[in-house]
Amino acid sequence: MKVEISRRRFLQGSVALSIVGGTALSQTSILAENAKKSKELPLLKQVPTICEMCVNKCAAIATVKNGIVTKLDPNPYFPKSRNMLCARGVAGIHALYDPDRLKYPLIRTGQRGDGKYRRASWDEAYAFIQEKLVKILDEEKDNRSCIGYCAGEGLAEHTFKTFMADKFGSSNFLNHSTICLQTAVSGYTLTIGGYGQADLENAKYVIMAGANRAEAILTPDTMDMFKRTRGRGMKLVVVDPRFTNSAMHADTYVPIKPGTDLAFVLALTYVAISDQIYNRSYVAKNFVDFDKYKKHIIENEYTPEWAEKITGIPAATICKIAHDFMANAPQAVYYQGRRTTWSKNDFQLRRAMALFSALGGGIDVKGGIVFGKKLPLGEHTTTAPMYAQAKPRIDKNLAAVVGATGTWVGWRNMVAEGKSPYPIRGMFVYKQNPMLSVPNTAKTRQMFEKMDLVVVIDTMPSDTAMMADVILPECTYLEREDPVQSFAGIEPAIAVREKAIDPMYETKPVIEIMRGLAQKLSKPLWEITKKYDEDVQEELEDTDEAEFYEENGFDLSEPFMHSQEETNKHLFVEKYGEEAWGILREKGVFYPNMLSYFKKIDNNTYQCYPKDRKFYSVLKLEEEYDAETFLHDLCVNPVDIADLKRSFNTPNKKVECYLGSMESRGVDPMPTWKDEEFVKVPSGQFKFISGRHAQFTQNSSQNNIMLLELMHENYIWINDQEAKALGIAFGDTVEVSSRVGRVRIKAYPTPKIVPQTVFYIHGFGAKSEGLTFAHRNGASDNEIIEDTIEPVHGCANMHDTIVSIKKV
């Protein structure tokens, strides 16, 4: 949703009006439509939906028999998910019918954290929130930012954000990016103009460092690459402290000491530069400040021999990899990776990776990193009111560039340690579980304990829900229609999530929750604003209150008044028309020419876009070329396409080697290895790293019995030689302790992990008693991960923790 009005800070005084979008339907007819539940359930129907068991958003088809969802099958029309549904996708039924699901609103009766709640009606819950919120805002003199809010990723995240950011007016927003891939996205974007998509369908040489596509499934990367490994077109090099399931497919597996990747990449760059094997014409046409970077690499002597001492990778291997990469370039990719920040130098690492990839010329070319295309959708606008009293976010100085999504660890620590410039009185949590997902769980608990109002909107009674004052139950993704989404890529498409069954129990989709909450809060909060906001008071001297209230967006419920389906129709029909809307509703997916492009070749292969219609090279070319034919001509050598001079989405329109803007903020303008940043492992201790298995999505699937059946608890990986020395055998319970906490977990001694390193997967060890299957099952990684942050965005360093292991 596009917000027409800009934030308070950037304007002086006068109020700018915005365009109010959407058709004006009467309130009653919308509510009546939602309230009417059809009495006749058709015996069998197939409903297109979009999976939300992880972030991939695969298109699926739900089979509904007699009002019960019995199976989820893949939807072959969606190009990105390549006609598949992974273990979690199929197990979505057991998230829908989870016996522990939140069924009705709950209000806390005991102490915060002891899990005692009473059942309440929606009205009661809203009234409770209203009462507390009014009191808090009154005390804080309408400083809207005194209520923080955080959201987990999802198709409906935006709906929640619209309420809290645009309507309620708090600037303290947090989401997963700083405990996830912020540095990777930022590193690539600032260097090559976008995070891009690795074209693994055509790449000939791929270095995958720390990314584990066999177990951290990403569409379509996972689907494409493992059909081409083992000598079938893609040479795969996996660089990882663990021999993961991806390493199993690799042509070369390179064990590496965790935290030393930057040294590895700098050494690769050194070899590429000193041996002059990089794509010189590409660099000449498309790089800026390359001479600075070249000098920097050579003068710092980032040789393979130097890297060998740090990483443990033989110098000869590094040389060979660099040579093989460049020999296969431009169809060679140093895979971006998509996971949490590892250490302090992560941003620089991702920049170095992007630069190395770009040295081969494989950016914006088939077989390299491409930017793809995004199909447009209409815009739904809303009016954001201006709150003069709303202060800016509290954590903006904790790192060089703190964006709109803040720094979770930094923000949380400020609140927990009482260092916030103004009091943070409460938090609204949507679809996130900070108690399990943010490092140093003890501090997160402290943060919540300092608050006066915690509202959690979730589907399960997670550990975070157990810290709430009010728990509002959202329905699962199978019970709601969500905003239609356009998926960018080589084969762009638009998909919609349709409702398979009506919400169960007393749950509601977040749009309805926001509507109800907003309707309850609008007028009382307006009173507070009138009381303290001088700008508003000034305006009201000349204007009619009711008019001002409406026109300036102080009616908080305004963006939520239409049904999602209506909003979707409006956004979509605006661009593609009614007929296309019909196709979208029937198939769940749409892209221009879909019906003529889409073909079934056999049960395993579908064609969504013909080869010559896919979008590989999209950047504006600076040379005179008939881009349309040239880029779509299959006979043209990718090397020739690579060589073209193009315009990148960066400030200098080129690949940026030197970030001057960063320098002024105290961040190295070029990737530099700093010994003092590297966390060394003391003898007898271990560095802790975390990751994923293909059967679980972080902690959201921890109570799914169908998935727990596949692996019912997490185990700690420890090198088998070291385990033997410590007398630890398979299945022994060990205690893992770090500076911030300790856990107990079963041991899995294995040769598949390098020495002085231990690992266990994220997402277990819940303490909430409401989760029957997940309760105290396995161990939580964030209980022991130290809460250090990297300096660029304040992302949490997830792999810098030192732990001790002992058998109990």
Partner 1 sequence: MEKINFIGLDINKTTIGGLLLNKTMLFAYALLALAAFGIYEIFDVRYFSAAANAHASGLNPTSLELKEAMRLAVFGDVGEVNRNIPWTLFIVNYMYMIYTGSGIIFLVALAELMNFHLVEKAAAGFMVAGIAMVFAGLFTIATDLNMLNMVWMVLTPNVGAGMWLMLPLYCTYIPFVLFEIYLVLTHKRAWAKRLALPILVLSIIVDLIEYYIQAKLFSMNTARHLWTEFPFLTFYFIISAFVSSLGVMGIVSFLAHRQKHEYGALMELNRKAMLFFVSILGVYEIFAYMTVDKDWAFLILFGPFRYVYFIGYIFLTLTLPFLCIVKPRKPIFTLIASISVVIGGYVGRYLFVYGGNANPMSNRFGVGYEKYDFYALSKPFNYVAPHLGEILIVVGSIGVAVAIYKLFDVFLSVGELREHH
Partner 2 sequence: MNYAMALDYQNCINCKACEVACKEENGVQLGADKQRIWIGVVEGTIFGKPFINLYPSQCNHCIDAPCVNVCPTNASHFAGGGIVKVDAHKCILCKGCMEACPYDARFVDDTMVAVDKCTFCDHRSLVEGGTTACQATCPTKVRVFGDLDDENSDIVKLLKTKRFFFQKEHTGTLPKLFYILPDDETYAKQSVSHQTKIHTWDEIKPLYAQARERRSKEWRK
Q: Could you say which of partner 1, partner 2, none residue 779 binds, taking C-beta under 5 to 8 angstroms by partner kind? A: none
Query: Does residue 479 bind partner 1 (CB under 8 A)?
Result: no
Place of tokens 């060679």: 332
Please give the single-letter amino acid code of residue 124. Answer: E
620 backbone dihedrals φ, ψ, rounded to 5°: -65, 125
From 9, 531, 599, 600, residue interacting with partner 2 (rule: CB under 8 A): 600
Find residue 734's DSSP bridge partners.
Answer: 745, 807
Q: Cβ of residue 698: shortest distance to partner 2, in angstroms? A: 16
675, two tokens: 């010994």
Cβ pair 362, 333 in contact under 8 A: yes
Taking the least distance from each CB to partner 2, the nearer of 70 and 664 is 70
Q: Label the pairing between strands 287-288 and 332-334.
A: unpaired
R_g of the chain, CA atoms, integer Å: 27
Q: Could you say which of partner 1, partner 2, none residue 772 binds, taking C-beta under 5 to 8 angstroms by partner kind? A: partner 1
From 693, 767, 793, 799, residue interacting with partner 1 (rule: CB under 8 A): 693
Query: Does residue 434 bind partner 2 (CB under 8 A)?
Result: no
Dihedral of the CA atoms 253, 255, 261, 265 (nearest 10)? -40
Per-residue contact flags (x/-) with partner 2 for residues 89 to 108, judged by CB under 8 A: xxx-x---------------
HSE value, Cβ hemisphere, 13 Å, CA-based, for 379: 8
Taking the least distance from each CB to partner 1, the nearer of 99 and 231 is 99
Q: Cβ of residue 606: shortest distance to partner 2, in angstroms? A: 11
Query: Does residue 517 bind partner 2 (CB under 8 A)?
Result: no
Query: Does residue 248 bind partner 1 (CB under 8 A)?
Result: no
User: Which candidate, 48, 119, 137, places its Cα nearest to that of 85?
Assistant: 48
Region binding partner 2 by CB under 8 A among candidate stretches 364-372, 459-467, 599-607, 788-796: 599-607
Place of tokens 């022994």: 732
The interface with partner 1 within residues 504-523 (CB under 8 A) comprises: 504
The whole-angstrom separation of Cα 708 and Cα 704 is: 6
Query: Does residue 240 bind partner 1 (CB under 8 A)?
Result: no
Residues in the chain: 808
Query: What letter does residue 64 receive in the DSSP assignment?
Result: E
The interface with partner 1 within residues 84-103 (CB under 8 A) comprises: 93-94, 96-101, 103
The whole-angstrom separation of Cα 336 and Cα 57 is: 20
Q: Cβ of residue 729: shortest distance to partner 2, in angstroms? A: 17
Region binding partner 2 by CB under 8 A among candidate stretches 78-86, 350-358, 624-632, 641-649: 78-86
SS3 (DSSP) at 207 = strand
The whole-angstrom separation of Cα 591 and Cα 375 is: 8
Query: Does residue 764 bind partner 2 (CB under 8 A)?
Result: no
Query: Does residue 748 bind partner 1 (CB under 8 A)?
Result: yes
Q: Cβ of residue 697: shortest distance to partner 2, in angstroms? A: 12
Per-residue contact flags (x/-) with partner 2 for residues 705 to 724, judged by CB under 8 A: xxx-xx-x------------
User: Which candidate, 484, 485, 491, places its Cα nearest to that of 373?
Assistant: 491
Query: Does residue 712 bind partner 1 (CB under 8 A)?
Result: yes
Query: Does residue 500 bind partner 2 (CB under 8 A)?
Result: no
Q: What is the 3-state secondary structure of 694-760?
A: CCCCCCCCCCCHHHHCCCCCCEEEEEHHHHHHHCCCCCCEEEEECCCCEEEEEEEEECCECCCEEEE
# binding residues, partner 2 (CB under 8 A):
48
The whole-angstrom separation of Cα 764 and Cα 612 is: 45
Taking the least distance from each CB to partner 2, the nearer of 135 and 339 is 339
Q: Please work out, in degrees rounded to the nearest 5, the angle formed at the alpha carbon of residue 117 by the alpha carbons of 113 and 119.
A: 155
Query: Does residue 715 bind partner 1 (CB under 8 A)?
Result: yes
From 84, 297, 313, 400, residue interacting with partner 2 (rule: CB under 8 A): 84
Per-residue contact flags (x/-) with partner 1 for residues 420 to 459, judged by CB under 8 A: ----------------------------------------
Q: Cβ of residue 709: shortest distance to partner 1, in angstroms? A: 5
Contacts of residue 654, Cβ cutoff 8 Å, sequence gap at least 6:
286, 287, 288, 648
From 168, 188, 205, 226, residue interacting with partner 2 (rule: CB under 8 A): 226
Query: Does residue 730 bind partner 1 (CB under 8 A)?
Result: yes
Taking the least distance from each CB to partner 2, the nearer of 174 and 754 is 754
# binding residues, partner 1 (CB under 8 A):
29
Cβ pair 741, 441 in contact under 8 A: yes
Element (H, E) at 684: none
Q: Could you say which of partner 2, partner 1, none residue 730 binds, taking C-beta under 5 to 8 angstroms by partner kind? A: partner 1
Taking the least distance from each CB to partner 2, the nearer of 230 and 374 is 230
From 13, 99, 231, 727, residue interacting with partner 2 (rule: CB under 8 A): 231
Taking the least distance from each CB to partner 1, the nearer of 504 and 636 is 504
Please give the single-letter amino acid code of residue 346. Answer: D
The alpha helices in 59-121, defined as continuous H runs, are 87-90, 92-96
Query: Does residue 44 bind partner 1 (CB under 8 A)?
Result: no
Region binding partner 2 by CB under 8 A among candidate stretches 128-136, 395-403, 551-559, 596-604: 596-604
Region binding partner 2 by CB under 8 A among candidate stretches 239-247, 296-304, 463-471, 737-745: 239-247
Element (H, E) at 495: strand 493-495
Place of tokens 């320098």: 663
Query: Does residue 711 bind partner 1 (CB under 8 A)?
Result: yes
Q: Could you say which of partner 2, partner 1, none residue 276 binds, taking C-beta under 5 to 8 angstroms by partner kind? A: none
Cβ pair 694, 682 in contact under 8 A: no
353, two tokens: 């990776």
Q: Could you say which of partner 2, partner 1, none residue 504 binds, taking C-beta under 5 to 8 angstroms by partner kind? A: partner 1
Q: Cβ of residue 745: shortest distance to partner 2, in angstroms? A: 19
The whole-angstrom separation of Cα 476 and Cα 473 is: 9
Query: Does residue 777 bind partner 2 (CB under 8 A)?
Result: no
From 128, 243, 609, 764, residue interacting with partner 2 (rule: CB under 8 A): 243
* C-alpha distance from residue 603 to each of 227, 411, 582, 591, 789 (Å): 16, 50, 26, 22, 48
Taking the least distance from each CB to partner 2, the nearer of 248 and 639 is 248
Q: Could you say which of partner 1, partner 2, none residue 751 binds, taking C-beta under 5 to 8 angstroms by partner kind? A: partner 2
Per-residue contact flags (x/-) with partner 2 for residues 189 to 218, judged by CB under 8 A: -------------------------xx-x-
User: Which candidate, 240, 411, 372, places its Cα nearest to that of 313?
Assistant: 240
Taking the least distance from each CB to partner 1, the nearer of 462 and 522 is 462
Element (H, E) at 146: none
Query: What letter does residue 361 receive in the DSSP assignment?
Result: T
Query: Does residue 772 bind partner 2 (CB under 8 A)?
Result: no
Angle at which helices 408-416 and 441-449 cross, to 10°: 50
Report DSSP letters for 418-464, one per residue.
Answer: T--SS---EEEEES--HHHHSS-HHHHHHHHHT-SEEEEEESS--TT
Query: Does residue 176 bind partner 2 (CB under 8 A)?
Result: no
751, two tokens: 């040769």
Region binding partner 2 by CB under 8 A among candidate stretches 117-125, 139-147, 230-238, 383-391: 230-238
Query: Does residue 73 bind partner 2 (CB under 8 A)?
Result: yes
The whole-angstrom separation of Cα 364 and Cα 427 is: 42
Element (H, E) at 632: helix 627-632
Binding footprint of partner 1 on the chain (CB under 8 A):
68-70, 93-94, 96-101, 103, 504, 693, 705-706, 708-713, 715, 730-731, 746, 748, 772-773
Binding footprint of partner 2 on the chain (CB under 8 A):
70-74, 82-87, 89-91, 93, 214-215, 217, 222-223, 226-227, 230-232, 243, 245-249, 253, 600, 602-605, 694-695, 705-707, 709-710, 712, 750-752
